[in-house]
Amino acid sequence: MAQGSVICVAPEKPTHAVCVLGTKSRVDVFSSAPNGCTSFSISASPEVVVNVAYIRPVKKNPTGSSTWPLDPRMEVTVMMKASSSSISDQKVRISYCGPQSQPTQALLYLTGVEISLRTDISRTGKVKPSKAKPSKAKPGKVKPTGRAGNHRRTWTWGPHGQGAILLVNCDKDDPRSSTMDFMNNEVNNSKDLQDMSLMTLSTKTPKDFFTKYKLVLHVAKSEMNKVRVFQAKWGKLPCKYRVVLGPQQPSHALELPSGQHSTTFYVEGLSFPDANFPGLISLGISLLDTSDSETPEALVFQDSVTFRVAPWIMTPNTQPPQEVYVCSVFGNRNFLKSVTALAKKAKCKLTICCEEENKNDRWIQDEMEIGYIQAPHKTLPVVFDSPRNRGLKDFPMKHLLGPDFGYMTRGAKTGQITCLDSFGNLEVSPPVTVGEKEYPLGRILTGNSSYPSDKSREMHQALQDFLAAQQVQAPVKLYSDWLFVGHVDEFLSFVPAHDRKGFRLLLASPRACYKLFQEKEKEGHGDAVLFEGVNRKKQQKIKDILSSKILREHNLYAERCIDWNREVLKRELGLEERDIINIPQLYQLLKDSRGALKAEAFFPNMVNMLVLGKYLGIPKPFGPIIEGRCCLEEKVRSLLELLGLHCTFIDDFDTYHVHCGEVHCGTNVRRKPFSFKWWNMVP
């Protein structure tokens, strides 16, 4: 909120004050009023607008009067219409009178100056001048009004909201640099500037004004580690950029010439919103009176602009794919061929991480999640590096971080890292509406335990806090600790659809699998076998699977866990049963390293698929062959191809499935950002 100092006038001697254009300054006409005076009148120079307002309602409103009662319930403000050409060139005369006192005058000399701190508050991608609305009163005239409202420089959400946006400058525009741009105090090049938000300071003052006054740019000490401000120095080419605010630099006295001048600043974010940082940063400008060397500098005027640091945003399966990532490891040549062919169909770029880079770590989905950050002037893909730190730990920083590709991570300062901290346990839904609440960017889905215990696993609190702090994709907690690996992508996925909500939720379903196998047994196919053609894997007949009491109990348990999540997803995503497709799947319980029974896929988990637009890369289940076709594949085709989707079944058995993962676990996708702008929503 822009605020000017209170001006106290007295009949004994003239008062001199500075008034910033667009800002009303309160004039105290009461404290030094002569004894016996009961009323006052005001006259002013042409470039001064005087307003008289009632602080509280009074019975009689003297509209049109030129004289007002000397009543503390009245407030007098002055506002300049234009900058002064010389110091104290505008005058206000206050005349006091009373029935038993001599008329007395107090003189106020004003200097009008322009001080305007501008940012892209309208979110158009450009910085526009912020023009103050002039009073309807004619210059030099006095107008009685209701109490004037305060205009705060705040940040608001929604399509009609206002407030500037700041990007964390987390890419690396200089290939020679060893780290992200925001970690140094330099502007690397013109591309680096494009990642920053523009801020300008316009000043217009009389000659020699800054010999008695100074302007200070500042940020709260609690926020100085979250932002850095560069001042452009336009002298001899090339332009130089000086750090004026940032870590350990909460304020900076500006050296400005008198007259009309514009100063350019570039602002970069240093931290994403998190548990202890809501993402808001205010930059302030203060005008100080330094004319009296015997007293401390006095505050004359203060204003500020507020930025919100852009959140990190995930993209769901329904967003168009742009690039596919996969690892080359020993024995997965055929898998790579299948993924390559699928990416070609979807017209996606393909990046293969070689064995030297991945160190035999094939789980690229677990290592990273690629999202984006966005401001009106720039959109930037940003990879979120998980804290799992296995063979692929260097891949995101070494091979993705670069010009216009950002990087960030969240480590665990305390607490143990578990499988639930890998990003196969981090998904996001497509946009949904729940009741009257809209989630235009979808909702984040993470897996946790059903309740905390000595043996339970949770996603690390640092990750949960970070995801919640982004605000725009309100996280939903699901129950995934019942699984051996513990990831949500082991029982759910999303695929695009042209009807209803624009997508379908796919849920793994033991119930659907048993129903399918029972139908096939009734049709006389009880001797058809699972795992036909798989080396070193015991084949299982349909009738044996159906008669296995232990396997049935294992899957009753798995079904109960999935049904729990089904209800959570229906409630939190606003879904109905017809928005869900049940994908046949069986699980088996095995003991983990702590001796606890956990579920893993009995055959390749078809819900753990790669979604590239309408092209699906689904783990080949090696189901019972009936009339020359896999009945599991045929069932899934019948469910998904009605939506216009194309199913490709990929053999991942030896290279992924036996290592407790599938196609989705072994791939990653960079997708197109949402067309919807995050600042237009209301969290």
Q: How far apart are CA 7 and CA 4, in angstroms?
A: 9
CA 281 from centroid of its chain's CA atoms? 14
Rounded (10°) CA dihedral 551, 557, 558, 562: 150
Catalytic status, residue 489: yes
Asked if 495 and 647 touch (Cβ cutoff 8 Å), the reply is no
Joined tokens for residue 409: 């991570």
Joined tokens for residue 74: 């009245």
Joined tokens for residue 470: 């982004």
Which residue out of 460, 487, 657, 664 is catalytically annotated? Answer: 487
Catalytic status, residue 71: no
Nearest to 76 by CA among 111, 41, 103: 41
Catalytic status, residue 170: no
Crossing angle of the two packed helices 631-640 and 510-522, in degrees rounded to 10? 120
Alpha-carbon distance values, 175 to 188, 195, 356, 400 (Å): 10, 16, 21, 12
Q: How far apart are CA 457 and CA 466, in angstroms?
A: 18
DSSP string covering 472-494 = TT--EEEE-TTBSS--GGGTEEE
- 577 φ, ψ (degrees, to nearest 5): -60, -35
Which residue out of 173, 181, 195, 366 is catalytically annotated? Answer: 366
Nearest 5°: the CA angle 105, 23, 84 is 65
How many residues in the chain? 683
Which residue out of 120, 489, 651, 652 is catalytically annotated? Answer: 489
Catalytic status, residue 289: no
DSSP string covering 303-343 = EEEEEEEPPPB---TTSPEEEEEEE--TT-HHHHHHHHHHH
Q: Helices (H) and strands (E) in the chain — how many of each?
A: 10, 43
Q: How far apart are CA 611 and CA 494, in angstroms?
A: 8
DSSP 485: S
The catalytic site residues sit at 366, 487, 489, 665
